[in-house]
């Protein structure tokens, strides 16, 4: 199968130019002006952008969590992703307590079999090094292309690990070339605050945010940074929400430490006003870390502009409002934590980032595709438009108008965090390794086309700390 994409404005993290792209055997084989070749499929991209397929480094599909299971499985979540221009994501395998890593991997792989619409890799969320996985087994995961270890410093009594587990995992990572990821909130402190709120009879969704203050995120972020530095491991802090967490990341990076931070689309747009909505509507905005006060929106835009934060993910962890979020109708601590986002990351960041002049188009591509690909061992196969790269390409119409609404989304959930938002700019054609996935409003390819991607170890060239290079 060959594809010729004519006359598009190719935008990568570094370049912005008009050219034709020729695709053969799933890869980009030629980029040039006025290419005169025949192809099985010709796409006219004049007046359109051609972006690399986006990479989402943070998703939760078909995940048991909060007493239920996320509503999007691999097929529906990846379909939503494809319509949003995301052609590769890295999902979290959660090691059940008492389980080996091998069993957890087998379980997660079976959830994806035959259902994959886009390409995917896995992180390993480590929950138990005592009665479950061993340090030796953890060290072997990069051989299977699982080159990042995730630790939850919150969710006490469920996924949370103690500092010993955190530090031992970091030590393993420093040996194996894996990247350590942390959900940085102080779970012990949050647990105290949640109990106090419930004892006082405070059960509404807003108390989810009020019992998870920014200081708890700032403290855990700083603790993880210091411990990773001590262990000599590279660190990636997921879903950063506030100035208290941005500050220690920026300081570490200024010091030349191997620390990176990510934020998520929702933290630029949702706030305490949303979670305070009446009639339990606030539960739609219950995710962790929680929505913050609006002053943090500008903090985050500045951070992604300055590279204090280097990636924007979705943390897609979708639940139904009616039937799943309602598990916490009388007790905010029982509301499953998480929100949807895979379909609208590009819409929102293009509209309010690039179009609004807050970031350049190049930086948008870098944050949504190139940096995630580099940090998670997918680059240059993914994350850019270049000869030899997978032909994961988004033909993006910068003038197409769209009103974001749950009524026409592809996620199975029954709400959208950006309901009613009007954007200009939307993917028109999405290709995965040269195969047309999405054309206009149609999903053209069938589930099963997506593949598991074994990821490379954390790139030494990314590291700033010579002592551990």
Which residues bind to ligand URP, rule: CB under 6 A? 60, 183, 287-288, 315, 317, 337-338
Reading the block at residue 122, the tokens are 């896995």
Which window, 67-75, 124-132, 312-320, 455-463, contacts Zn ion (CB under 5 A)? 312-320
Counting beta carbons within 10 angstroms of the beta carbon of residue 152, is it exposed (0 to 12), middle (13 to 18) or buried (19 or more)? buried
Residue by residue, DSSP assigns 202-217 as: --STHHHHHTS-HHHH
Least distance from C-beta 2 to ligand URP, angstroms? Answer: 40
Any idea which residue has 């007046």 for tokens? Answer: 47
Per-residue CA distances from 339 to 84, 168, 269, 316, 320 (Å): 16, 31, 13, 6, 9
DSSP state of 435: E
Residue 287's binding partner, choosing from Zn ion, ligand URP, none, with beta-carbon cut-off 5 to 8 A by kind?
ligand URP
Q: How far is CA 212 from the centre of its chain?
A: 21
Any idea which residue has 């955190």 for tokens? Answer: 166
Least distance from C-beta 47 to ligand URP, angstroms? Answer: 38
Residue 333's binding partner, choosing from Zn ion, ligand URP, none, with beta-carbon cut-off 5 to 8 A by kind?
none
Helix residue ranges, H only, 316-451: 345-349, 361-365, 371-375
Residue 185's binding partner, choosing from ligand URP, Zn ion, none, with beta-carbon cut-off 5 to 8 A by kind?
none
Asked if the peptide bond before residue 181 counts as cis, ω within 30 degrees of 0, the response is no
Least distance from C-beta 30 to ligand URP, angstroms? Answer: 40
Least distance from C-beta 137 to ligand URP, angstroms? Answer: 23
- Give me the torsion for CA of 231, 234, 239, 245, rounded to 10°: 60
Nearer to ligand URP, 52 or 289 (CB): 289
Phi, psi dihedral angles at 62 (to 5 degrees): 50, 45
Nearer to ligand URP, 183 or 350 (CB): 183
Least distance from C-beta 288 to ligand URP, angstroms? Answer: 4
Least distance from C-beta 317 to ligand URP, angstroms? Answer: 4
Which window, 67-75, 315-323, 359-367, 416-424, contacts Zn ion (CB under 5 A)? 315-323
Per-residue CA distances from 69 to 44, 61, 63, 317, 410 (Å): 42, 9, 5, 9, 18
Nearer to ligand URP, 288 or 426 (CB): 288
Residue 455's binding partner, choosing from Zn ion, ligand URP, none, with beta-carbon cut-off 5 to 8 A by kind?
none
Nearer to ligand URP, 79 or 241 (CB): 241
Least distance from C-beta 315 to Zn ion, angstroms? Answer: 4
Asked if the peptide bond before residue 374 counts as cis, ω within 30 degrees of 0, the response is no
Residue by residue, DSSP assigns 297-320 as: HHHHHHHHHHTSS-EEE--B----
Residue 283's binding partner, choosing from Zn ion, ligand URP, none, with beta-carbon cut-off 5 to 8 A by kind?
none
Counting beta carbons within 10 angstroms of the beta carbon of residue 33, is it exposed (0 to 12), middle (13 to 18) or buried (19 or more)? exposed
Reading the block at residue 152, the tokens are 């939850």
Nearer to Zn ion, 183 or 212 (CB): 183
Nearer to Zn ion, 20 or 62 (CB): 62
Nearer to Zn ion, 180 or 432 (CB): 180
H or E stretch at 242? none
Write each residue from 157 to 186 as x if it is in contact with Zn ion (CB under 5 A), else as -, in one continuous string.
Answer: --------------------------x---
Nearer to ligand URP, 262 or 397 (CB): 262
Residue 338's binding partner, choosing from Zn ion, ligand URP, none, with beta-carbon cut-off 5 to 8 A by kind?
ligand URP
* Total H helices, total E strands in the chain: 13, 19
Nearer to ligand URP, 257 or 415 (CB): 415
Least distance from C-beta 315 to ligand URP, angstroms? Answer: 5
Please list, residue by residue across 292-301, b when 16 or more beta carbons sit within 10 angstroms of its beta carbon and e when fewer do.
beeebbebbb
Least distance from C-beta 169 to ligand URP, angstroms? Answer: 17
Q: Is 315 in the site for Zn ion (CB under 5 A)?
A: yes
Listed in sequence order, the residues at least 6 apart from 103 whose beta carbon sits closer than 8 Å to its beta carbon are 96
Nearer to Zn ion, 1 or 65 (CB): 65
Residue by residue, DSSP assigns 216-233 as: HHHHHHHHHHHHHHHHT-
Residue 167's binding partner, choosing from ligand URP, Zn ion, none, with beta-carbon cut-off 5 to 8 A by kind?
none
Least distance from C-beta 69 to ligand URP, angstroms? Answer: 12
Contact positions toward Zn ion, by CB under 5 A?
A: 183, 315
């Amino acid at each position: 199968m060959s594809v010729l994409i004519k006359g598009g404005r190719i935008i990568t993290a570094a370049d912005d130019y008009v050219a034709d792209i020729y695709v053969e055997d799933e890869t980009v084989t030629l980029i040039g002006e006025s290419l005169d070749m025949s192809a099985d499929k010709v796409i006219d991209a004049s007046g359109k952008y051609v972006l690399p397929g986006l990479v989402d480094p943070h998703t939760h599909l078909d995940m048991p969590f909060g007493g239920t299971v996320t509503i999007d499985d691999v097929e529906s979540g990846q379909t939503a992703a494809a319509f949003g221009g995301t052609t590769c994501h890295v999902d979290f395998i959660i090691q059940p307590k008492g389980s080996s890593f091998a069993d957890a991997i087998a379980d997660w792989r079976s959830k994806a079999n035959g259902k994959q619409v886009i390409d995917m890799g896995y992180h390993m969320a480590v929950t138990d090094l005592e009665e479950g996985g061993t340090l030796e087994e953890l060290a072997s995961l990069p051989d299977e292309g699982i080159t990042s270890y995730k630790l939850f410093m919150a969710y006490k009594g469920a996924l949370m690990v103690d500092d010993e587990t955190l530090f031992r995992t970091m030590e393993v990572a420093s040996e194996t070339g894996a990247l350590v990821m942390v959900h940085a909130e102080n779970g012990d402190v949050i647990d105290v605050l949640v109990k106090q709120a419930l004892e006082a009879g405070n059960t509404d969704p807003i108390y989810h945010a009020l019992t998870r203050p920014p200081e708890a995120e700032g403290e855990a972020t700083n603790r993880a940074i210091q411990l990773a530095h001590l262990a000599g491991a590279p660190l990636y802090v997921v879903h950063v929400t506030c100035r208290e967490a941005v500050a220690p990341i920026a300081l570490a990076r200024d010091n030349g430490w191997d620390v990176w931070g990510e934020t998520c689309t929702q933290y630029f747009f949702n706030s305490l006003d949303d979670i305070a909505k009446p009639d339990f509507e606030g539960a739609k905005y219950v995710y962790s870390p929680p929505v913050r006060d609006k002053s943090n929106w500008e903090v985050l835009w500045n951070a992604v502009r300055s590279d204090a934060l280097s990636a924007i993910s979705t943390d897609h962890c979708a639940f139904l409002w009616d039937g799943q979020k309602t598990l916490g109708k009388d007790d905010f601590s029982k509301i499953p934590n998480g929100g949807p986002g895979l379909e609208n990351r590009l819409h929102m960041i293009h509209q309010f980032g690039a179009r609004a002049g807050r970031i350049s188009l190049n930086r948008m591509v870098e944050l949504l595709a190139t940096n995630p690909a580099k940090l998670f061992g997918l680059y240059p196969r993914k994350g850019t438009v270049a000869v030899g790269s997978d032909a994961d390409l988004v033909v993006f119409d910068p003038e197409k108008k769209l009103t974001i609404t749950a009524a026409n989304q592809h996620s199975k959930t029954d709400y959208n965090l950006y309901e009613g938002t009007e954007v200009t700019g939307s993917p028109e054609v999405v290709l995965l390794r040269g195969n047309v996935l999405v054309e206009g409003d149609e999903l053209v390819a069938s589930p099963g086309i997506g593949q598991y991607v074994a990821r490379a170890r954390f790139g030494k060239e990314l590291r700033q700390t010579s002592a551990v290079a």
